[in-house]
Structures are given as structure tokens and as C-alpha cells.
Amino acid sequence: MPAVRDWGRREYADALSEMRALRALRRRGEIPDTLLLVEHPGVITVGVQGADGDTLPDDLPVVQVERGGKSTYHGPGQLVGYPIVDLDARGRDVRRFVREVEQLVIDGLDAVGLRTGRVAGKRGVWVDDARKVASVGVAIEEWVTLHGFAVNVSTDLSVFARFRPCGYDGAIMTSAERELGRPVSLAEVSEPIVRSWEAQFGTASTVTSPELSPVAPRL
């Protein structure tokens, strides 16, 4: 039975270490498929495609990671989700899994009144095929997934203008709050995402990691 772990706000390096440890546990069959939900303090992460020589903000930590894609920003007001899923048991269909991850976000945003979708040839979740509200980048090791999605809920979008997130002009980045013209909490988006996770991956149960219990409540 899949699980959900909500870590609240968590430093990226600590969450990354725990995520990798959970991937190993999933590979050994010691935990079920698990969706991690977290909000990070400001950080730039750079995937396996690098940053295209882009100059990244020098006032934020930069972390090289094993996920697909290029550079992106995580920060307050952004809901990040890391599905730890055994694809060996799901037919080893990576493309299907990525679409399922995107669908989690699409369903979550639809529930708060924001219609979104996919754009052919572009990863992530988009508004009107032109503005990117969520990034998706995964890694797969021994057919178990890690990393996942980042939804701009009330994120400070000015940070994206300081580099080229995922290789795009930062001006394409948007948020749920900007699109809806009203305050949107992370909980408003996370709750329907969890329901979508339950529908796509089975019935979820919420647990708290004893190693990394939340240090800030989900607002």
C-alpha cells in the first residue's frame, strides 16, 4: 500500500540524503511506494544536462543532482513532491510514470480552479501552453524512482528571472497565485495531489519519517 510522508519545510541536502536512503529501502522491498511532500528553503539544483553554461545566482546554494533536466529553483511557496516508486513492478514504463507524475500536478491544480496541461515536446505542467507552473525531473536507479515535481504555488518568481530554468527564459515561469489572482496555500494543492496519488497508485497512508520529522507545519 503506497504511503505519503509530509516533511513540511526541509533543507534540500537533508531531504536529498533521506530520499536516496528511502530509494534503497524501496529497492529492497522494505517500504511501499511513497510520495514525499516538502517545501525547501531557497536552492538551485542542476540535473544531468547541466546549466548550459548559464550563470546561476551566487547568493543561493547550488546542488548537482542525478535527476533529468537542467537547472531549476526550489524555494518557499513551492510544493515539491518526490515519488519513490518501484517501476519494476509497474512494467518498467518510464514515459508512463512521468505522465503520471505530471497528472498528479494537473489534478492538484485543477482542484483549486487552475486549468493546466502538457505541451508536446516539453516536460512539466503548463498554463495555456505558454506559462510553466510546475517542473518535472526524475531519476531512476535499479528501476526505483527518485526526485519528481515542483509546483509554484506562491513562489517568488523573480528568482527564475536571474537564470534560465530548465533552459527557458525565466519569464515563462508562473505560479498558482499569479494565475488565480488570489492567495493559495500549499495545503490547498497538496491535498488533491494526495488524492490523485491514491487514485493512480493505490490507497495512501500518511506516516512521518522518524529520521526527518517535519520542522515546519504545512500551511
pLDDT in tens, 137-167: 999 999 999 999 999 999 999 999 999 999 9
* pLDDT > 60? residue 209: no
CATH of the domain at 34: 3.30.930.10
User: 37, 166, 193, 194: which is the annotated catalytic residue?
Assistant: 166
Residue 190 is assigned to a structural domain of this protein: yes
Residue 216 is assigned to a structural domain of this protein: no
Rounded to a whole number, what is the largest CA-CA distance in the chain? 46
Q: Average model confidence (pLDDT) for the chain?
A: 91
Separation between Cα atoms, residue 194 and residue 107, nearest integer Å: 10
Residue 170 is assigned to a structural domain of this protein: yes
* pLDDT band for position 208 (cuts 50, 70, 90): very low
Asked about 157 being catalytic, the answer comes back as no
pLDDT tens readout for residues 49-96: 887 677 899 999 999 999 998 999 999 999 999 999 999 989 999 999
pLDDT at 49: 87
Residue 186 is assigned to a structural domain of this protein: yes
- Residue 184 belongs to what domain range? 3-207
Closest to 168 in 3D by CA, of 196, 126, 204: 126
What letter would DSSP give residue 51? T
Residues 6 or more apart in contact with residue 67 via CB below 8 angstroms: 45, 47, 48, 137, 138, 139, 146, 147
Domain count, the chain: 1
